[in-house]
Each structure stands twice: as C-alpha cells, then as structure tokens.
C-alpha cells in the first residue's frame, strides 16, 4: 500500500522519484478542508444550540453539585461531535460518496 517514494541511485547518494508509488488524488476521498469545514460548522451549531439550551442544561446539571460544570462541558462536547458527524455524513451523501439503503 505504501510504496517507497524515493529510492537511492546507485553510487551517487541522490534520490529519484518512484513513478509507481505516486498517489493520484481521488475524488472519492474526503479532503482535510472538508473535515475542517464540517468541524467549524458543527462548532457554530453547538454554540447557537448551547446558548439556547444553557438554562435548561444548567438546571439539569445542578443536582451534580461540584461536577455540574464537567457535565455541562461534556454535554456541549457531545453536542459538537454529533453535529459534526451529522454534517459530515450529510456532506458525503450530497457529494455522492455515501449512499443509504440497498439500492444500486
């Protein structure tokens, strides 16, 4: 899977590129920019939703006393991860890289 990109040339110590190991960018893969974009959108969704539900979240976590701030932080982190995953799956579905169901 991982071919050697450079091989030493006999006697010179120089390297040359191995043409068989070049990986061509594939449109079926997700780029890091897409991951970062989905992460950022998920973070914004978490902020907007977190501000809207914070009073109810703080009231629910109040019974935990000293651990209430930890519970709120974990709830917001979980909200961010769920939003990020949902947006990324929707993005991949829209791009045609994932399909749901047993169709063709």
The domain limits of the chain are 33-97
Residue 24 DSSP symbol? P
Residue 38: Cβ within 10 Å count: 21
The pLDDT-based confidence of 71 (bands split at 50, 70, 90) is: very high
Would the pTM of this model clear 0.85, i.e. be above it?
Answer: no
Q: Tell me how many degrees the CA angle 42-68-56 measures, rounded to the nearest 5.
A: 60
**More confident of the two residues 50 and 2:** 50
Helix (H) or strand (E) holding 7: strand 6-8
Distance of CA 24 to the CA centre of its chain: 22
Check if the beta carbon of residue 84 is closer than 8 Å to that of residue 38. Answer: yes
Instruction: Output the pLDDT for position 63.
Output: 93
SS3 13: coil
pLDDT computed for residue 17 by the predictor: 57
- In degrees, rounded to 5, the angle at the alpha carbon of residue 89 between the alpha carbons of residues 44 and 25 is 105
């Amino acid at each position: 899977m991982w071919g050697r990109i450079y091989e030493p040339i006999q006697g010179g110590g120089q390297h040359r590129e191995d043409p068989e190991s070049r990986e061509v960018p594939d449109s079926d893969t997700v780029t890091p920019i897409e991951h970062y974009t989905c992460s950022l959108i998920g973070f914004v969704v978490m902020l907007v939703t977190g501000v809207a539900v914070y009073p109810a979240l703080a009231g629910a976590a109040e019974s935990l006393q000293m651990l209430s701030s930890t519970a709120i932080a974990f709830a917001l982190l979980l909200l961010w991860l769920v939003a990020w995953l949902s947006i990324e799956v929707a993005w991949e579905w829209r791009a045609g890289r994932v399909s749901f169901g047993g169709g063709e």
